[in-house]
Amino acid sequence: MSDNAYAKTGVNVDIEAEASRLMHEASKKSFENRKGKIGEVIAPFDDFAALKMVAAGNLPKDTYFSVGFDTAGTKVEIAERVGTYNTIAYDLFAMVCDDALLRGGEPVLVGTTLDVKSLGNDDTKLAIVRQLAEGYVAAAKEANVAIINGEIAQMGSLLNGYGDFPFHWGAACVWFAKKENILTGNEIKAGDAVVMLREKGFRCNGWTLVRKIFQTAHGDSWHTLAHNGSTLGELALTPSIIYSRFVVGLHGGFDTKGTVPLHGVAHITGGGIPEKMGRVLRRTGLGARLTDLFEPPDITAYCQRLGGVSDYDAYGTWNMGQGMALITDNPDKVLAEAKAQGMEAKLAGVITKEPGITLVSRGIEMSGKELQFEA
């Protein structure tokens, strides 16, 4: 079929079918993550186009579920530049699964859409798909979700990017929660502690600014520049930490008891601490004072310095080393659980009666000084 009219346009359905098979085989390995739990995948027969479903007939009346959508954004370009594709699934799953935690939900099922320019007419690009599939399995296990379905589409001239395998990867996540675990924002009280979970990279936000800074300073091949024992590209590609399993263990899942029920969760992505903490607190009219944040990762500090980005702009664009904020009245237990599970965490601050976000900067411009943001 490789010489038919459709294949000559760059869309080879045989290669696409093989790519789909590779991703299907990877997704099947994730079914084990939900075995015996809500979201256990039932497949009457084995085929990538087969019916896959979840039994939902005996759910309690106090069951809630929702679905969220997100993508790995333009961080995929970094994978394209570096030529390493087995970590980008961590970024995708961190974005779509960790958002479920904001409302006290347990991420359960994920479906993805992989849009590529072309898979070509031979098996060359399948080596990249195998790397994507490798990360698919690992990220799903980290998030404790099953990949119930996926789609691959060859977009041709509608999709462009760096190199000869530009792609876009998006996902949907279905999450479940018991009514008692739902977080509305009203649970947060003045005096609650804010425990921050550390992030070692940029996650998936602020990449337009990152790329512009590196491109302006170092040219189109900026990703090859040696830096801190690695390259700028490899450091920029640092995969996002997935917090889902840890936070669900703390707060409680759909059918599991937690160890430390939380009052609020902020996922520090686009808009940084001011936007994400502000969004969580907006309903209450409360604020936060954050005096002991993690230092930004070296790659972030380097980018900030190189681009002359102010601390205000840096904290309003990037996570600056904070991946998730947990609001709790029992910070000691949260910190003990984090230590036991190898999750880097620290007591960063407190919820205040006064609105607004005040933080002590760890940026390169005003380190040690207070920055104030409206909630």
For 219-230, the pLDDT digits (tens) are 999 999 999 999
Average pLDDT over residues 156-171: 94
DSSP notation for 173-202: EEEEEEGGG---STT--TT-EEEEEE--S-
Percent of the chain exceeding pLDDT 90 equals 89
pLDDT at 366 over 70: yes
Residue 169 identity = W
Query: Looking at this protein, which amino acid is placed at residue 179?
Result: K
Q: What is the mean pLDDT of residues 109-133?
A: 95
What average pLDDT does range 290-304 have in this prediction? 98
Q: Please tell me the distance from the alpha carbon of residue 98 to that of residue 248, in angstroms, as a whole number.
A: 10
Q: What is the mean pLDDT of residues 273-298?
A: 96
The answer to whether residue 354 scores a pLDDT higher than 70 is yes
Mean pLDDT of 347-370: 97
> How far from 284 is each of 147, 159, 184, 207, 277, CA to CA, in Å?
36, 43, 10, 31, 12
Q: Is 223 helix (H, G, I), strand (E, B) or coil?
A: helix
Mean pLDDT value of segment 108-132: 95
pLDDT band at 1 (very low <50, low <70, confident <90, very high): very low
> What tokens does 66 get?
């929702």
Q: What is the dihedral of CA 22, 23, 25, 26, to 10 degrees?
A: 120
User: If you search the block for the tokens 């970024």, which residue do you land on?
Assistant: 91
Please report, in angstroms and rounded to a whole number, the separation of the first and last CA atoms in the chain.
58
- pLDDT band at residue 176, thresholds of 50, 70 and 90? very high
The distance from CA 87 to its chain's CA centroid, rounded to whole angstroms, is: 11
pLDDT reading at 213 higher than 60: yes
**Mean pLDDT computed over 9-29:** 86
At how many degrees (to 10) do helices 244-251 and 88-98 cross? Answer: 30
Q: C-alpha distances in angstroms, 268 versus 13, 80, 139, 318?
A: 40, 25, 19, 8
Query: pTM to 2 decimals?
Result: 0.93
Per the model's pLDDT, the better-predicted residue between 51 and 168 turns out to be 168
pLDDT value for 56: 86
3-state SS, residue 76: helix
Q: Which domains are present in the chain?
A: 5-181 (3.30.1330.10), 193-373 (3.90.650.10)
Quote the pLDDT of residue 52. Answer: 82
Q: What is the pLDDT of residue 104?
A: 96
| Calculated CA dihedral for residues 99, 105, 106, 110, nearest 10 degrees | -50
**pLDDT at site 2:** 47
Q: What is the DSSP string of 145-183?
A: -EEEEEEEEE-GGG---STT--EEEEEEEEEEEEGGG--
**Distance from chain centroid for Cα 40:** 23
User: What's residue 357's pLDDT?
Assistant: 97
